[in-house]
């Protein structure tokens, strides 16, 4: 059957891709960024919208950093929150946290598409540091986070991607998200080490403020998502050899999984919506290849529902895909202290295949909800 043959052909290519990521993940773990003898001043910029239930934990971890208070500042930009986010942030002003409220800066918060990017741009403009460090309002970092970032600022780098961990709960959905997110983080480290289709996550990344201004920041970018990847690609186009990955457990920041299926798919649709906007053709080719593999495996499953004989081929494809990824995923989860989740890796494969296919299709024409805003 043609679908099965295509799936096996794609699996052969997938072996080489995962082996590539595995080798460069290991190389990244050995290639530590050298410490700068005179770390520059850092500004932590957080864009927040309706984060009243989470932002206190984030700010508690930010103000508790083991780092000289005069060498960093914290800027929180409230992106037209409709809850108590601003009131909570104001409680931290005596601890050096500065608040910018976008509803006093200009704009109604409903017209532009690039909501978060406008908030981040305002935060960067107000920042006093030579380096900008960004995270999300629901993220929590360890006390040596800023020290790790500061120690990874050799003069030849202009952008640093750092690790993010999604802490799982007890539900299968949260466990699945944690595994899936860790794999993306593993690919991020590998791709940057290989200087091939660089990736990052806005929950933990740093860049020189002057370089942000030099590339025009988010100017001309009206997409809601992509405040991290699209900015990275702008910078990487101009400075392809000056992007680094900080492989340090001290630099990990923790974020929470989405609480329910609706929120999960909305988040993944938002992520998928930016895939067609990348200027890096290599990333687009890889994404299309991985999508095609999952699509044809899913197709075999659907066909087997009508002809049960073909379930054996589907199971074999599933086992082969899991086997190809196993060694890479095991090492990544070990770094993030999530090794106990490996027992869930095979059960998560079935959900992963179908969620990739579904979100890939829906992202082309379906809207989604984000922070109380409906995006179409």
Domain definitions of the chain by residue range? 2-24+279-375, 30-260
Average pLDDT rounded to a whole number, residues 135-158: 87
| Average pLDDT score, the chain | 88
pLDDT tens, position by position, 24-47: 999 998 876 665 656 679 999 999
The answer, yes or no, to whether residue 94 has pLDDT greater than 50, is yes
Max avg pLDDT among 110-119, 219-228, 278-287: 278-287
Confidence category of residue 143, pLDDT binned at 50, 70, 90: very high
Supply the pLDDT for residue 359. 86
Backbone angles phi, psi at 366, to 5 degrees: -95, 145
Q: DSSP per residue over 219-264, as a string?
A: TT---SS-TTHHHHHHHHHH-TT-EEE---GGG-EEE---SSHHHH
Instruction: Tell me the C-alpha distance between 252 and 70, whole Å.
Output: 23
Structure tokens at 112: 């532009």
CATH of 30-260, one of 3.30.499.10, 3.40.50.2000, 3.40.50.720, 3.90.550.10: 3.90.550.10
Supply the pLDDT for residue 113. 43
The answer, yes or no, to whether residue 294 has pLDDT greater than 50, is yes
The answer, yes or no, to whether residue 110 has pLDDT greater than 50, is no
pTM for this prediction: 0.90
pLDDT tens, position by position, 321-357: 999 999 999 999 999 999 999 999 999 998 999 989 9
The answer, yes or no, to whether residue 1 has pLDDT greater than 80, is no
Pick the closest to residue 136 from 62, 26, 243 (CA basis): 62
Confidence category of residue 63, pLDDT binned at 50, 70, 90: very high
Average pLDDT rounded to a whole number, residues 249-277: 84
Average pLDDT rounded to a whole number, residues 51-55: 94
Confidence category of residue 154, pLDDT binned at 50, 70, 90: low
- Find all residues with CB under 8 Å of 97, minimum gap 6, and list them: 59, 62, 63, 74, 75, 76, 89
Supply the pLDDT for residue 367. 56
Average pLDDT rounded to a whole number, residues 280-288: 84
Confidence category of residue 8, pLDDT binned at 50, 70, 90: confident
> H or E stretch including 100?
strand 97-101
Give the three-class secondary structure for 98. strand
Instruction: Tell me the C-alpha distance between 103 and 82, whole Å.
Output: 11
Give the three-class secondary structure for 73. strand
Pick the closest to residue 190 from 5, 341, 18 (CA basis): 18
The share of the chain scoring above pLDDT 70, in percent, equals 87
pLDDT tens, position by position, 354-373: 989 988 887 766 555 555 55
Supply the pLDDT for residue 26. 94
Confidence category of residue 183, pLDDT binned at 50, 70, 90: very high
Position of tokens 């539900």?
Answer: 171
163 or 147, higher pLDDT: 163
Supply the pLDDT for residue 197. 84
Alpha carbon distances (Å) from 343 to 44, 181, 220, 294: 37, 16, 45, 21
């Amino acid at each position: 059957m043609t679908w099965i043959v295509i799936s096996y052909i794609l699996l052969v290519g997938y072996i080489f891709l995962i082996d590539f990521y595995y080798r460069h993940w290991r190389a990244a773990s050995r290639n530590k960024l050298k410490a700068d003898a005179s770390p520059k001043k850092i500004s932590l910029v957080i864009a927040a919208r309706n984060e009243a239930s989470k932002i206190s934990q984030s700010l508690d971890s930010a103000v508790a950093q083991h780092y000289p208070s005069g060498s960093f500042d914290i800027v929180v930009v409230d992106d037209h929150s409709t809850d108590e986010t601003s009131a909570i942030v104001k409680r931290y002003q005596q601890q050096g946290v500065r608040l910018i409220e976008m509803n006093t800066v200009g704009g109604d918060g409903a017209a532009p598409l690039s909501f978060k990017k406008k908030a981040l741009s305002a935060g960067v403009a107000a920042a006093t540091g030579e380096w900008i460090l960004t995270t999300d309002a629901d993220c929590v970092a360890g006390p040596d986070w800023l020290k790790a970032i500061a120690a990874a600022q050799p003069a030849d780098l202009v952008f640093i991607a750092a690790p993010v961990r999604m802490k799982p709960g007890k539900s299968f959905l949260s466990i699945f998200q944690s595994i899936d997110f860790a794999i993306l983080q593993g690919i991020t480290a590998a791709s940057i080490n290989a200087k091939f289709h660089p990736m990052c996550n806005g929950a933990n990344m740093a860049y020189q403020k002057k370089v942000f201004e030099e590339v025009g920041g988010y100017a001309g970018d009206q997409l809601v998502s992509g405040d991290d990847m699209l900015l990275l690609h702008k910078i990487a186009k101009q400075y392809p050899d000056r992007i680094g990955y900080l492989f340090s457990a001290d630099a990990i920041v923790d974020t929470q999984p989405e609480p329910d299926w609706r929120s999960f798919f909305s988040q993944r649709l938002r992520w998928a919506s930016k895939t067609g906007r990348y200027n890096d053709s290599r990333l687009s080719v890889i994404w299309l290849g991985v999508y095609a593999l999952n699509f044809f495996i899913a197709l075999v499953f659907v066909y087997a529902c009508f002809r049960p004989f073909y379930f054996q081929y589907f199971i074999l494809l599933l086992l082969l895909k899991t086997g190809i990824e196993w060694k890479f995923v095991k090492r990544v989860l070990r770094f993030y202290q999530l090794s106990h989740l490996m027992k869930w890796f095979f059960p998560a494969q079935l959900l992963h295949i179908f969620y990739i296919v579904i979100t890939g299709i829906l992202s082309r024409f379906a809207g989604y909800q984000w922070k109380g805003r409906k995006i179409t």
